[in-house]
């Protein structure tokens, strides 16, 4: 991640002064001016001033009157382990901690704000969310595609919602930033707090996104199966495609954890298919030497091998990636067939299983903590922010900072070095 922002860019907006004594029965040991996380990150040059993020924690005085405020929760985009944990934590934090009694869920993402869709609101209480953390997906449903920002803010005004929790990935965070700006433009007292969601772990200024650890857990199971298949047949190949549109964090972390993988292909590291140092020839040498191989590829890897003139986008404006898994499956079979070498290739794509499973224990705790921190920020009247974790410390920062760029796996990082050391793979380049 580049150091292309300053300390001023990390300041979180507030709707006004906090004058209401918080109902939370806790000890406030940190004053407001100490609630920052000292942040230079590795690789920052000496001529760039250190950057600080505000710590995430409750405040002694809050902005909203808990007896009168109405809060809404919406989930958007693709499914991810931990969504229900975040929803549940927000509801329990508002209800039990701050004694807020008017909490609603917006159905099917941003569509739920638009009258034409006819999606009803769901009243959320501790009883309603009691067991949702044991289920995958989101109890509120989701959707993709942009909706009118003006219409969304109109809906917030009609429902007298003064707090909006919005849970989603990059496209959702962009929408959240626009909603927060439209609210401020209208001079409304509405807090917009985002909880960043992406299995790919590619959000800027967020060390780890919820659902990532569960995704790695489930990915390692797929790798184990691929390894078993590969070892069970002569010239056996297990090919696993994992999520990762622009970053290879899942593929690299799962491979480094499992250590049964021989080749890892990610978007951040280019590779050649053909030639003496290309992937296919190195794979052939591996099979000659060990008679089996396990390959893990991130979905965004190798996109240069497809026709760039046929770019398609989904409802949210994301580029529809070409299927690198199917491409590799075809090229590998074709290559060995031409050489008269019989192989046994098994292709595994666990993507929809990975995103739909319930969160594991660590992700459940992490998701719940993010939800609680979102509640504290909203009740204090903060707006236009995401709750985050950086260097192991829970913090918060403006949404614009989180969407300023994609976080990517650096080829010189410790994680990628671990991958190279465990796989022994070379650079697949003919230079």
> How many C-beta atoms surround the C-beta of residue 287 within 10 A?
19
The conformation of residue 57, written as its DSSP 8-state character, comes to -
* Catalytic site residue from 200, 260, 272, 363: 200
The answer to whether 200 is a known catalytic residue is yes
Q: Which helix (H) or strand (E) holds 13?
A: strand 13-14
Residue 279 and residue 61: Cα distance in Å, rounded? Answer: 60
Q: What is the secondary structure of 370-395 as a DSSP string?
A: HHHHHHHHHHTTEESEEEEEETTEEE
The first and second tokens of residue 312, run together, are 């398609």
- Using DSSP's 3-state secondary structure scheme, residue 80 falls into coil
Name the token pair of 88: 């549940």
Decide: 317 and 147 in contact? Cβ < 8 Å. no
Stated length of the chain: 431
Kindly give the residue spans of alpha helices, DSSP state H, lying in 273-323.
279-290
DSSP class of residue 197 equals: B
**Which tokens is 269 given?**
């590291």
Q: List all residues 6 or more positions away from 414 whose beta carbon is below 8 Å from its beta carbon.
A: none
Q: Are 253 and 216 in contact (CB under 8 A)?
A: yes
Residue positions annotated with a catalytic role? 200
């Amino acid at each position: 991640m580049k150091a292309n922002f300053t300390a001023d860019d990390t300041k979180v907006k507030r709707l006004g002064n906090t004058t209401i004594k918080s109902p939370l029965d806790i000890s406030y040991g940190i004053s407001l001016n100490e609630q920052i996380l000292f942040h230079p990150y590795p690789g920052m040059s000496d001529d760039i001033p250190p950057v600080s993020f505000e710590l995430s924690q409750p405040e002694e005085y809050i902005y909203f009157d808990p007896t009168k405020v109405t809060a809404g929760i919406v989930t958007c985009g693709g499914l991810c382990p931990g969504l229900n944990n975040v929803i549940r934590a927000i509801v329990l934090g508002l209800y039990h901690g701050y004694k807020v009694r008017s909490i609603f869920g917006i159905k099917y993402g941003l569509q739920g704000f638009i009258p034409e869709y006819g999606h009803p609101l769901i009243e959320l209480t501790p009883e309603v969310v009691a067991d949702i953390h044991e289920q995958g997906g989101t109890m509120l449903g989701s959707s993709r595609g942009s909706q009118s920002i003006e219409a969304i803010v109109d809906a917030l005004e009609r429902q007298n919602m003064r707090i909006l929790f919005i849970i989603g990935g990059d496209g959702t965070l962009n929408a959240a930033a626009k909603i927060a700006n439209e609210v401020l433009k209208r001079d409304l007292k509405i807090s917009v707090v985002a909880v960043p969601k992406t299995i790919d772990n590619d959000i800027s200024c967020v060390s780890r996104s919820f659902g990532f650890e569960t995704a790695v857990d489930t990915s390692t199971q797929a790798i184990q199966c691929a390894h078993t298949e590969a070892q069970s047949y002569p010239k056996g190949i297990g090919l696993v495609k994992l999520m990762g549109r622009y970053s290879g964090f899942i593929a690299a972390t799962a491979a480094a954890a499992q250590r049964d993988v021989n080749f890892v292909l990610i978007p951040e590291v280019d590779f050649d298919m053909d030639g003496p140092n290309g992937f296919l020839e190195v794979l052939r040498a591996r099979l000659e030497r060990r008679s089996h191989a396990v390959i893990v590829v991130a979905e965004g890897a190798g996109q240069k091998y497809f026709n760039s003139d046929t770019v398609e986008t989904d409802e949210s404006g994301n580029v529809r990636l070409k299927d690198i898994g199917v491409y590799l499956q075809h090229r590998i079979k074709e290559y060995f067939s031409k050489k008269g070498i019989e192989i046994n290739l098994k292709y595994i794509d666990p993507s929809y299983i990975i995103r739909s499973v319930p969160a594991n224990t660590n992700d459940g705790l992490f998701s719940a903590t993010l939800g609680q921190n979102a509640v504290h920020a909203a009740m204090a009247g903060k707006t236009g922010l995401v709750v985050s974790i950086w260097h192991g410390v829970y913090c918060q920062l403006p949404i614009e900072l989180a969407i300023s760029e994609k976080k990517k796996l650096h080829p010189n990082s410790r994680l990628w070095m671990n991958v190279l050391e465990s796989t022994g793979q070379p650079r697949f380049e003919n230079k």
